[in-house]
């Protein structure tokens, strides 16, 4: 079983829609969590870190539930420019190596 | 403000040939990493380094060797390329935990095809 699992999608949504991505992790030693965004044929880029208290950055909201080992990303008012693959990522305590999920593709259409 | 630079960007190899991928960072980061990304597989860690002169194996190290002789450079070598090593290779560097993230910076990738 892969350490970080995501629904691969693709998620096809119209502009303005709200879309939610879910992610589960199996390594209970994982301490830090992130969402990365990857555009086609480009390198991954950090979208936001995920905190237990939940955190928001503009239209993006991330949540972490340690008891359920579950992470989510909510995108409100989707834009065409949000079309990309969203990677759920974990890191274990004491290490800086990241474990990536396979990614969920989002396609936002006019 | 280059960040992380990977060379080459593209390469086609014949089975059995060898090559070295170079990663250079100018942010004075201690940690450097090599990942590979295959369709439907996500990024997987090949090798990493926690400082000059150190290397460690990641999730998929077989068929690769690495060296970190200088802090700013991390080399990935393929001694005898195989078609299964056709992939996109990403190098990254990071600093210590800042309380928010590791400050990971990725290079733009090397697309390698082994025929």
**Using CA atoms, how far apart are residues B105 and A91, in angstroms rounded to an integer?**
15
pLDDT of B1 higher than 80:
no
Q: Which residues of B touch A (CB under 8 A)?
A: 31, 33, 35, 40-45, 48, 50, 58, 90, 94, 96-97, 100-102, 104, 106-109
CB contact under 8 A, A43 and B94: no
pLDDT of A95 higher than 90:
no
Query: Mean of the per-residue pLDDT values for chain A?
Result: 91
Contacts of B107 in chain A (CB under 8 A): 43
pLDDT of A40 higher than 70:
yes
**Using CA atoms, how far apart are residues A10 and A8, in angstroms rounded to an integer?**
6
Q: What is the pLDDT of residue B103?
A: 77
pLDDT digits (tens, 9 = 90+) for A47-57: 998 988 889 99
pLDDT of A93 higher than 70:
no
Which of A34, A41, A100 is closest, CB to CB, to B43?
Answer: A100
CA distances from A9 to A26, A75, A87 (A): 20, 15, 12
CB contact under 8 A, B45 and A97: yes
Q: What is the pLDDT of residue B92?
A: 95
pLDDT of A17 higher than 80:
yes
CB contact under 8 A, B104 and A98: yes
Residue A53 near chain B (CB below 8 Å): no
Contacts of A102 in chain B (CB under 8 A): 40-42
- Please choose, from the candidates A38, A40, A110, the residue with its C-alpha nearest in 3D space to the C-alpha of residue A80: A110
Model confidence at A85, in pLDDT bands (50, 70, 90)? Answer: very high
pLDDT of B47 higher than 70:
yes
Residue A33 near chain B (CB below 8 Å): no
Please report, rounded to a whole number, the percentage of residues in chain B having pLDDT higher than 70. 94
Q: Check residues A52 and B98 and name the one with the higher pLDDT.
A: A52
Q: Check residues A52 and A76 and name the one with the higher pLDDT.
A: A76
Q: What is the pLDDT of residue A100?
A: 93
3-state SS, chain B, equals CCCEEEECCEEEECCCCCEEEEEEECCCCCEEEEEEEECCCEEEEEEEECCCCCCEECCCCCCCEEECCCCCEEEEEECCCCHHHCEEEEEEEECCCCCCCCCCEECCCEEEEEC
For residues A45-66, average pLDDT = 91
Please report, rounded to a whole number, the percentage of residues in chain A having pLDDT higher than 90. 73
Report the residue of chain A nearest B30, measured CA to CA: A96
Residue A100 near chain B (CB below 8 Å): yes
CB contact under 8 A, B42 and A91: no
pLDDT digits (tens, 9 = 90+) for B53-93: 999 999 999 999 999 999 999 999 999 999 999 999 999 99
- The number of beta carbons lying within 10 Å of the beta carbon of residue A12 is 13
């Amino acid at each position: 079983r892969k350490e970080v699992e995501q629904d691969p999608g693709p998620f096809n949504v119209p502009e303005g829609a709200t879309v939610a991505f879910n992610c589960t992790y199996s390594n209970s030693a994982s301490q830090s969590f992130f969402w990365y965004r990857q555009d086609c044929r480009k390198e991954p880029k950090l979208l936001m870190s995920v905190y237990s208290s939940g955190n928001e950055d503009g239209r993006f909201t991330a949540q972490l539930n340690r008891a359920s080992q579950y992470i989510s990303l909510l995108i409100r008012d989707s834009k065409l420019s949000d079309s990309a693959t969203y990677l759920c990522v974990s890191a274990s305590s004491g290490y800086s190596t990241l474990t990536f999920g396979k990614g969920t593709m989002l396609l936002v259409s006019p | 403000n280059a960040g992380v630079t990977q060379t080459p960007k593209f390469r086609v190899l014949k089975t059995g040939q060898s090559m070295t991928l170079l990663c250079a960072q100018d942010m004075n980061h201690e940690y450097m990493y090599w990942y590979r990304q295959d369709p439907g597989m996500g990024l997987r860690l090949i090798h990493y380094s926690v400082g000059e002169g150190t290397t460690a194996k990641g999730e998929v190290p077989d068929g690769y060797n690495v060296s970190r002789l200088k802090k700013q450079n991390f080399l990935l070598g393929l001694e005898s390329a195989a078609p299964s090593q056709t992939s996109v290779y990403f190098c990254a560097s990071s600093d210590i935990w800042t309380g928010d993230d590791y400050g990971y910076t990725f290079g733009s990738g090397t697309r390698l095809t082994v025929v």
